[in-house]
Amino acid sequence: MTGPLTIENLSVSFAGGAIEAVRGVSFELRKGEILALVGESGSGKSLTARSIIKLFPEGATVDGRIVLTGEDVLSVPQADLERLRGKSAAMVFQEPSIALNPVFTIGWQIAEGLRAHGMHDRGACRARAIELLRDVGIPDPETRVDYYPHQLSGGQKQRVVIAMALALRPAVIIADEPTTALDVTVQAGILDLLRRCRDELGSSILIITHNLGVVADLADRVAVMYQGRIVEEAASDVLFASPKADYTRRLLAAVPRLGQSVAKDNGCRERGRLVLEADNLEITYPGRWGHTAVPAVKGVSFDIAAGEVLGLVGESGSGKSTIGRAVVGLSPVTGGAMRLFGEDLRRARGKNLRELRRRTGFVFQDPASSFNRFMTVFDCIAEPLRVHRAFPSADALRRRVVELLDQVHLPREMATRYPGELSGGQRQRVGLARALALNPAFIVADEPTSALDVSIQAKVLEIFTTLQKELGFAALFISHDLAVVEEISHRVGVLRHGELQELGSTREVMTAPRHDYTRLLINSVPVPDPVIQAEKRRSAITSQSADSGLV
């Protein structure tokens, strides 16, 4: 029998065909199947997914055929399209916090989908909304149905988005990067939920993702997209075992794998001079008028020796970024002590503080927003040098900037371009060059690669590691990605709710974690190998009580 969704020769272009985002994509989604559409940003995977319910950005030219439960989506009239949307195919969005309307209750929003398909009885809509919320694992749904989105956590919001997609039991669920915005321990729960949608409701799922761990965990079949084309399509285990297309091989090679990095020359490393010491560090954000203050970091102690990279892992809200920002004075140290190059940050003032800042570099998370878009790349990199009057002549300054561009493997011509004209990976390399400009002895890198694609991430990490070895700076490397931290750091600290759970050499923490939370964190990371991941899942299920069923 034919599946609920067939796409034939789909092309999407912009600007009158000048930009071809999707070029002749064809595939079929079978009944009860989970198909993963994999690719990096700009590969056209999201656009393909959105085409299925005809949600195009403005100015798109579309060609081809999309047959959804027997009807051609691209040619049906608007009224039929509105009927198909939600009923035949429903979508789960990437970022739950922006996929929910902030000014309406979640119950109202679920009911809107039901009303659009002819269910007008208020009581029935509400009852169905509560039922759906219970199905997706929202605790106390009778109360939460009247909550507004901002009253829920990120994972709960994504469950609500899934509940909305399930409302009319669609034949096809399109999940566009459903776990990218979520923490890894929350991700595992959402992936389970999606699998149950297939197992218990028989829905076919098209999951769009860049995360090969997620693919290995969930998908039956994989289609790899590259530059608007599907370059390879195969059953999940086949694809991981013997990738055929060149691009797939490169993609698989770039994925950082937990527990497989080359063993580091750590542990026995001589830990002489300390660069950073945090002693019972407390950081509390002052409460707004009439509200209690919120402690973000509670009694955290660690130190970093010269030339050492300390990885700080944790989920959102764990306080890891707060610590990083405190080092450079962007968050206040309210208790305990933080000594940078032996100077207490709470006492440092004026010239001393300036000197500390000169010796510390900072790499920001999002390269898109951490540059002034009216400054050229040259000026961005030169800024710290100018601020600290580090170079006497314009000529010396220019030589230094060129040297930095070379170090991060960027062509010299880029100096005259603007950050907006660069790709994400190039921008982050500029960010690294800027942090290195003053030849700092210490660098704070706050999630420097989390906004990047895996292959680009691999390149940036490689540059970082090489430079770290060459220049010998110490670093505080903050990340939510265990595999990245493992690859980069000599020692690892695990944070949760502002407390340091575990601190030790990378090998110790990753292979023999002492703390339950660390173990949970490590186990939650899906392994980019379907065989191992399935094994892992089976052992997880046997150790867990069975979940409540879906309707």
Partner 1 sequence: MLSYTLQRLGALVPVLLVVSLVIFSLALLAPGDPARIILGPEALEVDVVKLQDIMGLNDPFWIRYLRWISGVVQGDLGVSYFSNRSVAAAIQSHFIPTAQLAVLAISYALAISIPLGTLAARWRDSFFDHAIAGFTLIGLTFPSFVLSLILVIALSVWLHWLPVAGYRDPFGSPLVGLRYLILPTLSLGTIYASVLTRTVRASVLDVLKSEYLDAARSRGVKENRLLFAHALRNAGLPIITMIGLSFASLLAGAVVTESIFNIPGIGSLLVTAIERRDYPMLQGVVLFLTCIYLGLNVIVDLVYGLIDPRVRLSGKGVQ
Q: Compute the least distance from the CB of residue 315 to partner 1, in Å.
A: 14
Contact 223, 34 (CB under 8 A): no
Q: Among residue numbers 282 through 311, which ones bind partner 1 (CB under 8 A)?
A: 288, 290-291
- The verdict on 117 binding partner 1 (CB under 8 A) reads yes
- The verdict on 148 binding partner 1 (CB under 8 A) reads yes
Q: Which is nearer to partner 1, 160 or 430 (CB)?
A: 160
- Which residues, listed in sequence order, are joined to residue 475 by a DSSP beta bridge? 309, 443
Q: Which is nearer to partner 1, 149 or 256 (CB)?
A: 149
Q: Among residue numbers 401 through 460, which ones bind partner 1 (CB under 8 A)?
A: none
Assigned token pair, 281:
């560090």
Taking residue 123's Cβ as centre, other Cβ atoms within 10 Å add up to 7
Q: Candidates 84-92, 126-134, 492-500, 529-537 — which segment interacts with partner 1 by CB under 8 A?
A: 84-92
Cα 531 vs. chain centroid, distance in angstroms?
Answer: 24
Q: Compute the least distance from the CB of residue 384 to partner 1, in Å.
A: 35
- The verdict on 60 binding partner 1 (CB under 8 A) reads no
Assigned token pair, 242:
């013997």
Rounded to a whole number of angstroms, the CA Rg of the chain reads 25
Which of 10, 25, 53, 458 touches partner 1 by CB under 8 A? Answer: 53
Taking residue 399's Cβ as centre, other Cβ atoms within 10 Å add up to 12
Q: Which is nearer to partner 1, 161 or 461 (CB)?
A: 161
- Which residues, listed in sequence order, are joined to residue 223 by a DSSP beta bridge? 37, 233
Please give the torsion angle defined by the CA atoms of residues 420, 423, 426 and 427, in that order, rounded to the nearest 10 degrees: 40
Q: Which is nearer to partner 1, 100 or 182 (CB)?
A: 100
d(Cα 299, Cα 281) in Å, to the nearest integer? 5
d(Cα 7, Cα 68) in Å, to the nearest integer? 8
Coil/strand/helix, residue 400: helix
Q: Candidates 128-136, 163-171, 265-273, 323-331 — which segment interacts with partner 1 by CB under 8 A?
A: 163-171
Taking residue 475's Cβ as centre, other Cβ atoms within 10 Å add up to 27
Q: Which is nearer to partner 1, 55 or 241 (CB)?
A: 55
Total residues in contact with partner 1, by rule CB under 8 A: 37
Q: Candidates 93-101, 195-203, 208-216, 298-306 — which segment interacts with partner 1 by CB under 8 A?
A: 93-101
Q: Which is nearer to partner 1, 294 or 512 (CB)?
A: 294
Contact 285, 510 (CB under 8 A): no
Cα 319 vs. chain centroid, distance in angstroms?
Answer: 17
Which of 25, 91, 197, 313 touches partner 1 by CB under 8 A? Answer: 91
Which of 23, 31, 65, 83 touches partner 1 by CB under 8 A? Answer: 83
CA-based end-to-end distance of the chain: 25
- The verdict on 212 binding partner 1 (CB under 8 A) reads no
Q: Compute the least distance from the CB of residue 82 to partner 1, in Å.
A: 5
Q: Compute the least distance from the CB of residue 532 to partner 1, in Å.
A: 34
- The verdict on 84 binding partner 1 (CB under 8 A) reads yes
The residue type of 99 is A
Which of 55, 330, 387, 551 touches partner 1 by CB under 8 A? Answer: 55
> Which one, of 248, 297, 302, lies nearest residue 271 by Cα?
302
Task: Give the start-end residues of each E strand in 434-548.
Answer: 442-446, 474-479, 491-496, 499-505
Q: Compute the least distance from the CB of residue 170 to partner 1, in Å.
A: 10
Which of 152, 206, 461, 495 touches partner 1 by CB under 8 A? Answer: 152
- The verdict on 316 binding partner 1 (CB under 8 A) reads no
- The verdict on 87 binding partner 1 (CB under 8 A) reads yes
Q: Among residue numbers 96 through 115, which ones bind partner 1 (CB under 8 A)?
A: 98-104, 109, 112-113
Burial 333-357 (b: 16+ CB within 10 A, else e): bbebbbbbbeeebeebeeeeeeebb
Contact 264, 507 (CB under 8 A): yes
Which of 130, 161, 456, 476 touches partner 1 by CB under 8 A? Answer: 161
Q: Among residue numbers 231 through 290, which ones bind partner 1 (CB under 8 A)?
A: 288, 290
Assigned token pair, 25:
């994509």
Taking residue 395's Cβ as centre, other Cβ atoms within 10 Å add up to 9
Q: Candidates 22-30, 144-152, 187-195, 501-509 — which segment interacts with partner 1 by CB under 8 A?
A: 144-152
Residues 6 or more apart whose CB falls under 8 angstroms from that of 171 comprise: 4, 5, 31, 68, 69, 88, 89, 203, 204
Q: Candidates 25-33, 150-158, 307-315, 462-470 — which segment interacts with partner 1 by CB under 8 A?
A: 150-158
Which residues would be at the binding site for partner 1 (CB under 8 A)? 53, 55, 78, 82-87, 90-91, 93, 95, 98-104, 109, 112-113, 116-117, 148, 150-153, 161, 164-165, 167, 288, 290-291
